[in-house]
Chain A
């Protein structure tokens, strides 16, 4: 097991997945630093996964998920009271493809904890059921 993480650390530029915490619901926000012209999407993925203890790539937002698999992972994190940042990949087609290469993982959602790829919906659900996710995140429940 890797070490427990410090919570919360929330970058104000990112959507916060905690219920009721600064969600606009609409007004698509480019999660993360805007890519400078010619900017490197892989560096941006590296940056956002390393600079947020818990980062979720998903379809839609935690409040308005656009896919059942993404919704389930967001719900699990919210249920555990974990603060997390997220990125709606439906608003960024380049990143949607780049995250698949970055994690060597072909599907969405993708959850990173402490900069490490942890898994998609099935793995997160299994880890939640066994308590491994709670242990990794350092939370009860």
Chain B
């Protein structure tokens, strides 16, 4: 739970959030049980108003630079404004089926 906690803490500290979900999706991938490699972040923040999708993701990636450099292999992001969140009624994306790449990844 170490990375899950630090992701949550850093996003809460770095962004004005109306809603946050940090999901460990590692179990769906080619990694040992209990791994913290694949995460999904759903962040709802008024700070995203007027920002492009790329800028929103970069903001989150920057807050989580340490985690991305140190163990987080995949980070799926849904970054929306409160208005978008209200309109959509919840998360819009789902995880694609794993293709087993970590097994063949020369860097692991």
Asked whether B89 is an interface residue with its Cβ less than 8 Å from the other chain, the reply is no
Partner of B106, one of A93, A117, A118, A123: A93
Per the bound structure, the CA–CA distance linking A90 and B61 in Å amounts to 22
Interface string of A60-103 (1 = CB under 8 A from B): 10000111111110000000000000000010010010000000
Partner of A67, one of B65, B68, B99: B99
Q: Given contacts A90-B104, A122-B76, are A71 and B93 in contact (CB under 8 A)?
A: no
Interface string of B65-79 (1 = CB under 8 A from A): 100100000111110
Partner of A107, one of B75, B92, B105: B75
Number of interface residues of A (CB under 8 A): 28
Asked whether B100 is an interface residue with its Cβ less than 8 Å from the other chain, the reply is yes
Q: Given contacts A90-B106, A93-B106, A125-B93, are A119 and B101 in contact (CB under 8 A)?
A: no
Per the bound structure, the CA–CA distance linking A22 and B68 in Å amounts to 35
- CB of A59 within 8 A of CB of B78, answer no
Considering only CB atoms, which chain B residue lies closest to A66 in the complex?
Answer: B101
A74 CB to closest chain B CB, in angstroms?
A: 11
Please report A residues at the B interface, Cβ cutoff 8 Å.
Answer: 59-60, 65-72, 90, 93, 96, 104-107, 117-123, 125-127, 129
